[in-house]
A and B are shown apart, each in its own frame.
Chain A
Amino acid sequence: MEYTREIYWNIGQSLGVLLPMYLLAAAAVVFLCYQFAQRVKTYRQGQPLNRFDRWPTRLGHMIRGILLQTKVMRERLPGTAHALFFWGFLLLFIGTLLIFIQADFTDLFFDYRFLTGSFYLFFSLILDLAGLIAIVMLLGLLFRRALIRPAGLESKTEDWLIHALLLVVLITGFVIEGARMAVTEMGTSLALWSPVGLVFAKGLTGLEESTLRALHSYIWWLHLLLAIVFIALIPLTKLRHLFTTGVNYFLVDLGPKGLLPLIDLENEDAESFGAAQVQQLTWKDIYDADACTSCKRCQDRCPAWATDKPLSPMKLVQQIGAMAFHDQQANLPETLERDVLWACTTCLACQESCPASIEHVRKIVEVRRNLVLMEGEFPGHEVMTAMEHTEVNGNPLGLTFADRGNWAQDLPVIMAGDAPADILYFVGCYAAFDQRNQAVAKAFVTLCAAAGIRVAILGKQEKCCGEPMRKMGNEYLYQTLAQENIEQIKASGAAQIVTSCPHCYNTLNKDYRTFGLDLPVTHYTDYLAQLLEQGQLSLRAESFACTYHDSCYLGRHNGIYQSPRTLLHAAGARIIEMAKHEAESFCCGAGGGRILAEENLGTRISEKRVAMAADTRTPTLISSCPFCLSMFEDGIKGVGLEQQLQAQDLAELLLTRLTQATPQTADFVPK
C-alpha cells in the first residue's frame, strides 16, 4: 500500500468548499495588502533615505535574519523559544501550502501527487513535530508573559488575543488530524508517522464515526476561518512584524555603525534643521515603529532607563509611530519630552540588542538637532556654556587653547611639522587639559617612545573633535571643528593618526571621512596591541586581578574588544569580567554629550557601573576612555568605594609593566 492520505477527507473537494475557502483567503490577502499599502503611505510622510542600495548584501541580511533568527536568539531563552516557534510555524505553513498545491493544482489539473510514499511519511512526521514544538514554545512564552512577567514586558489585550489565536489554530489543526486519524488510520503503521495526531486520535476513540466526522467538519471550518482571521490581523496588530521586522533586516543601516547623517549647512533653501515634527524624520524612522515588537530588550539595556530616567528607547520609537499615524501635527520635543531626549548617552546598547534592527539613536539626535539649531536649547545652561567655551577656546572645559600642548612638556613628543614622526597623536580635550587624564596621555607617549615610535601632536592647533557637540545636536559647531581639525591634520603631513579617546577615534575614523580625512586612524589599544605583537613593545607580566570596562565607543560602536584584553593579559592580568561586558557593556554615563551635562534625574549611571565593577571583587577597574575614567573617578567617590576600588586607564597600567627604557627628550626630538 502506498503511504498517503486523502486530502479534503470528510470535507470534499467540491466547489461549495473551494469557492468560499479561496474567496475568503483572497479577501484576507487583499485586505492585508490594502492595509499595508495604507501604512506605506504613512511611512512616506517621512524624509527620503536610500535603503535600497547594495541590495544583494541587504537581501543576505534579510534571509539570514529571518531564517536563522540570529538577532532574535541573542536573548537566549525567549529568543530560542521564539525561533523554535517560528521554525515550527514556518514548516506548518509550508506543509499547508504543499497540500494546497497538490490538491487544488497538480492533482486537480495534472493528476500529479507528490505527498506520497516515504516523502509523505517524512512530511507527516515533520509537520506533527513542528506543530508540537510550536505549541510547546507558545505555551512557554505564554507562561513567561502571564506568570513570570519579566519587568518591563507590557501585555495588552492584543497580546493575549494573538497568543490565544495562535494556540487555537495549532490545536484545532491537531484535532482535525486526530479526528481524521481516529476514523481512517487507527491501527495502521501509517499512524505512527503522525505521533501527535495519534495522541489526539486516541483521545477521540470511542466516539461514533458520525460524531467524529461532524466534529472534524466543524473544526475544519473553524480552523480555516481562524487562519483567515490570522492573515487579516497581520497588518492590524503587532503580527505585522512578520513582514515589517523581516523587511527591516533588508533596510538595515549598513554603516559605518552609528554614523549620523550630515546636515548640509551650505543649503541656503533649508528653513528648518533637525526634526520638530514627525515628517521631518526619515520614512525609516516612522517605519521602525512598525517593526518594533515591544520586546523591550532596548529598554532592559538602556543606561538611562536603568537609572530611573524617563527614557525608554522602545517607547520613544513607538511614540514616533503613534504620532505618524494619529497625530501628525504634534511637536516632537513636546510629545517625546525634552528630559527623555536629553537623557540618551548614544551608547548604542538599544540598537545592538534590537532584534528588529531599529535605529533609536538617530531619531533622538535628529530631534536634539532641532532643539539646538532651531531653538538654541540645551539640557542645561552648563551645556550651553560648554558649547561657548568650545567656540572660543576649542575645548568644552573653557581652558586656554594656547595651553593645550603643555602636558607634553619634557616628554618625547614632537610638535607636528617640527620633525618627522611615525604617528600623529590626536590627544583630545580631556587628556590635554584634565590632570587625571593627562597621566594617560603621558603614559601613552612614554609607551610609544619605549617602542621607538616618534609621536607628534598638534598642540594648540588641535581642537575638540566635536563629538559631544554633534551628539548633543550642535551640528554647526561640530562641522566647524571638524573642518578646522582636518585642515590642521592635513597640514601636519601626518601619515597615521592614533587617538587615546574612543570618542575622538570614532569621530575621526567615521565622521571626518565625510569631510575628506583619509588617513588611517587607530585607537591606542589597537595600536599598542599591534606594537606588542610585532615585538616593538615589550611588557612584563606581573599577576594581578582587575575588571575591564568596555567603552561604548570602543566596543559597541567599533567592535574593539580584543586588543585591550590582549594587552591586559600581556601585563599579567586576570580579568574578572563584569556581568555586562563587551557588546553588553553598560555605559559610564558620559556618552552622547552627557559629559557636558549635569545628571539631575534618577540615580547616577557612573555609580551603577562602579557598583557592577565592585561586584567583581577586584581592586581595579580598567578602562580606556577619558570620559569613562572621569566618570568612574566621580562614581567611586559617589558610592564611597575609594578604599576598595581604583579606576585606572589601560595605558597607565601598561606603563607600570614596561620593560624598555624610554629615550630622553633631547635624544628623541631633533633640535
Chain B
Amino acid sequence: MKILLVAEYREGKLLGTSAELIEFTVRMDAQAVMFLVGNKQNLPQFDGRLYLADAAQAGEFNPAVHKQLLLEVIAREQPQLIAFPHSSYGWDLAPRVALALDATQFSEVVDVQEGHLIVPVCNAKLQRRMKAETEKTVVTLQAGAFTPTQSISATPEVIDLPVTGAGDIDFQGYEAAAAGGVDLSKAKVIVSAGRGIGKAENLEMVANLAKALKGEYAASRPVVDADWTDHSRQVGTTGQTVAPKLYIACGISGAIQHLAGMKKSDFVIAINTDKDAPIGEVADVLAVCDLKQLIPLLTEKINAQQA
C-alpha cells in the first residue's frame, strides 16, 4: 500500500506533525511519499520522495492551489491513501481533495486496529471501525494519536512542483495569539488546583507541574473566589468548560459544578487525600496522597523525562 502524506507548514516553519504521519504509515505497514507546500530550507525528516511546492508561490494557505498540486502528485504516485493531520490545515484541505478524487474520507483517525481505521464519535465517548467503499481513501489523523516510538533522521528525495493557477481565497497573513487571559479550552494538558492545595503559595507547585507537561494550570471556583488566581483560569460551570487530553485535579473534591466543566477530558488523574471524594467518579486514576509531597516529585520526574 502506498500512502501520500500531507505535511504542514506555517509562518515559514515546518510543523511537527509529519513525524506522526510517518508513524501512521508504519502502523499501516505501507510505503509513503510526502507532499509539502513549504521551502527547501525546512525539510521534514523523511526517507522517501517529497513533492515540494514553494510556499512563496503557492501561498501558505491557499486550498484551491494546494488541492490542484496534490491532485497532480496523486495522479503521478497513485496512492491508495492520502493522510493529513487533523488540523486547521488538514480538515480544510482533505475534503476538497477527497471530493475531487471521488474518495471517501475518515476524519480524526485515532487508531488502526487489524488494518481498520478507528474514528471517534461523540467527543471520544464512542468509536467506530470504518471501511471505505471507494478506490482511494482520505484520512485526517488526530494529533497525538500516532506518536512515533523513535525519531527518524533522514533526508527526503525532493521533487519540485511548479506552481500554476490562483485560488478563490485571499489570504492576508496571521494574527498572533492574544496575550493575557488564558484560553483553557485549547490546552492539551490542564493541571487544576482545588481548595485542597491549602494556601495560595502552593499554586506555584501546581503551575510548575503544568509547565513541565507543557500545559496550563487552572483552578476550581473556591480557589478563584479566594483570589489565589484570576477568573480566566477557573474550570467549571461558572468558569471554562475544558476537554484536554490530560486533566490533573489536585486537591479538588469534585463539586458538581466543577465536574461539569472538566468531565469531557480524555484522561483524568486526581490527587486527593479523600479516597471517597466525588472527583473519583470521573477520574481514571485517583492517587490518594498528600499533594504537597507528590506534585514536586512528579514534576521532577517529568522534567527529567522531557530533558
- Do A and B touch each other in the complex, judged by CB within 8 A? yes
Nearest A residue to B234 via CB reads A598
Interface residues on A, range: 10 to 19
B86: chain A residues at CB < 8 Å are: none
Cβ-based interface call for B132 (8 A): no
Q: Kindly state the separation between the CA atoms of A637 and B195 in the bound complex, as whole angstroms.
A: 8
Q: Which of A380, A399, A604 has the most CB of B within 10 A?
A: A399
Count of A-B contacts judged by CB separation below 8 Å:
28
Name A434's closest neighbour in chain B (CB-CB): B256
Nearest-Cβ distance from residue A661 to partner chain B, whole angstroms: 26
Inter-chain CA distance A433–B259, complex, in Å, is 12
> Within the assembled complex, what's the spacing in Å between the Cα atoms of A598 and B239?
9
Query: Are A382 and B222 interface neighbours, CB within 8 A?
Result: no
Q: Is the CB of B278 within 8 A of A435?
A: yes
Whether A398 pairs with B237 at a CB distance below 8 angstroms is: yes
In the bound complex, residues from chain B placing their C-beta under 8 Å from that of A386 are 237
Q: Which of B222, B238, B254, B260 is in CB contact (< 8 Å) with A398? A: B260
The answer, yes or no, to whether B225 is at the interface (CB within 8 Å) is: yes
A142 at the interface (CB under 8 A from B): no
B252-263 CB mask vs A (1 if < 8 Å, else 0) is 001111001000
Q: Are B238 and A638 in contact (CB-based, < 8 A)?
A: no
Which A residues touch B254, using CB under 8 A? 435
Cβ of A461 within 8 Å of any chain B Cβ, yes or no, is no
Query: From B276, which residue of chain A is reached at the shortest CB distance?
Result: A435
Tell whether, in the assembled complex, residue B222 and residue A397 are in contact, meaning their CB atoms are under 8 Å apart: no
Check if A652 is an interface residue, CB within 8 A of chain B.
Answer: no
Given contacts A434-B256, A435-B278, contact A397 B225 (CB under 8 A): no
Q: Is B260 a contact of A397 with CB atoms below 8 Å? A: yes
**Residue A385 interfacial (CB < 8 Å):** yes
Q: Scan residues 300-320 of chain A and give those whose CB is less than 8 A from a CB of chain B.
A: none
A267-B198 Cα distance, complex, nearest whole Å? 56
- Cβ of A584 < 8 Å from any Cβ of B? no
Q: Are B238 and A598 in contact (CB under 8 A)?
A: yes
Tell whether A634 is near chain B: CB-to-CB under 8 Å: yes
Complex Cα–Cα for A433 and B260 (A): 11
Chain A residue nearest to B196 (CB atoms) is A637
CB distance from B253 to the nearest CB of A (A): 9
Beta-carbon contact of A638 and B260 below 8 Å: no
Count of chain B residues near A, Cβ 8 A: 13
Please, which residues of chain A bring their CB within 8 A of the CB of B238?
380, 382, 598
Q: In the complex, A234 Cα to B21 Cα: how many Å?
A: 87
Determine which of B225, B237, B255, B281 lies in contact with A638 in the assembled complex, contact meaning CB atoms within 8 Å.
Answer: B225
Give Cα distance in the complex from A638 to B195, angstroms. 9
- For B236-272 the 0/1 string (1 means CB < 8 A from A) is 0110000000000000001111001000000000000
CB pair B256 A382 closer than 8 Å: no
Q: Roughly how many angstroms separate A634 CA and B254 CA in the complex, as a whole number? A: 12
Q: How far is the CA of A604 from the CA of B222 in the complex (A)?
A: 12
B222 CB to closest chain A CB, in angstroms?
6
**Interchain CB contact under 8 A, A637 and B222:** yes
* Segment 204-236 of B: residues with Cβ below 8 Å from A: 222, 225-226
Looking at A397, A435, A638, which has the most chain B CB atoms within 10 Å of its CB? A435
Cβ-closest chain A residue relative to B278: A435
Cα–Cα distance between A124 and B298 once the two chains are bound (Å)? 93
Are A638 and B222 neighbours in the complex by a CB distance under 8 Å?
yes
Tell me if A397 and B195 are in contact (CB < 8 A). Answer: no
- Separation of A637 and B225 alpha carbons in the complex (Å): 11
- A435→B225 contact, CB < 8 A: no
Residues of A contacting B225 with CB < 8 Å?
604, 638
With A and B bound together, what is the CA distance between A385 and B238 in angstroms?
9
B residues sitting closer than 8 Å to A (CB atoms) are 195, 222, 225-226, 237-238, 254-257, 260, 278, 281
Known: A380-B238, A637-B222. 7 other contacts (CB 8 A): A382-B238, A434-B256, A435-B256, A435-B281, A604-B225, A637-B195, A638-B222
Interface pairs A-B: 9 shortest CB-CB = A382-B238, A435-B278, A598-B238, A434-B256, A637-B222, A637-B195, A398-B260, A382-B237, A397-B256
Name A's B-contacting residues (CB within 8 A). Answer: 380, 382, 385-386, 397-399, 433-435, 598, 604, 634, 637-638
